[in-house]
A and B are shown apart, each in its own frame.
Chain A
């Protein structure tokens, strides 16, 4: 079945620096979603990308969907302590089922 792989699984980022997290699929995705889970919390939807090569921005966050619709990335600039958490990507399978990656756990170093 479709698998969504995320790399890296863990990141330690210095406050103020930029970082990127990646999501790769073994099959072409109809769309891809990104979620953020704060420590002790539940995942919260961030964004959905649908079109090949699509780029969307939310303040310091830039989301990109690959041309082949098999990979995606999330780039965060000027990291803040509030960026701590686990970032998940999710691909849509048949019957609109969401297949989540294992997540990228981000620790921000003040």
Chain B
């Protein structure tokens, strides 16, 4: 069966520090991968989307970047965090074709102080 791992679960980082969140998927190949951010009490904002290795689509301009060095690995990064980067970050994967349901990781709660 497919599983998705996302870590760390919580993170407190000072302003100006770098960020690296990692997400890996098991049990499937060539998944579509997503990074979402959810502000407190808000909806899901799509940050990045990837259909394959090295293929990254950015949905909104921001202080973050994403990379997909391997088929089932998706990394969210920042060189210098801002206070506004605080939030709940969720990685998700979906298959191709008509099976587009998304499976989410447990999420990372990031607090920038």
Residues of B within 8 A of A103 (CB): 42-44
Min CB–CB distance B38 → chain A (angstroms): 9
Whether, in the assembled complex, A11 has its beta carbon less than 8 Å from a beta carbon of chain B, the answer is no
Residues of B within 8 A of A61 (CB): none
Contact residue among A31, A50, A98 (Cβ-Cβ distance under 8 Å from B94): A98
Residues of B within 8 A of A101 (CB): 43
What's the tally of chain A residues with a CB closer than 8 Å to chain B? 24
Min CB–CB distance A91 → chain B (angstroms): 10
Cross-chain contact A95 with B101 (CB below 8 angstroms): no
Cross-chain contact A96 with B104 (CB below 8 angstroms): no
Whether, in the assembled complex, A44 has its beta carbon less than 8 Å from a beta carbon of chain B, the answer is yes
Whether, in the assembled complex, A100 has its beta carbon less than 8 Å from a beta carbon of chain B, the answer is yes
CA distance A32 to B36 in the complex (A): 18
Min CB–CB distance A8 → chain B (angstroms): 13
CA distance A48 to B103 in the complex (A): 13
Cross-chain contact A98 with B104 (CB below 8 angstroms): no
Contact residue among B49, B105, B107 (Cβ-Cβ distance under 8 Å from A95): B49
CA distance A92 to B107 in the complex (A): 22
Residues of A within 8 A of B106 (CB): 42
Cross-chain contact B32 with A96 (CB below 8 angstroms): yes
List residues of A whose CB falls within 8 A of some B CB.
6, 31, 33, 35, 41-45, 48, 50, 88, 90, 92, 95-103, 105
List residues of B whose CB falls within 8 A of some A CB.
32, 34, 36, 41-44, 46, 49, 51, 57, 90, 94, 96, 98, 100-107
State the 10 A-B residue pairs at the shortest beta-carbon distance, nearest first: A102-B43, A100-B44, A42-B104, A45-B101, A96-B100, A103-B43, A42-B107, A43-B104, A92-B100, A97-B49
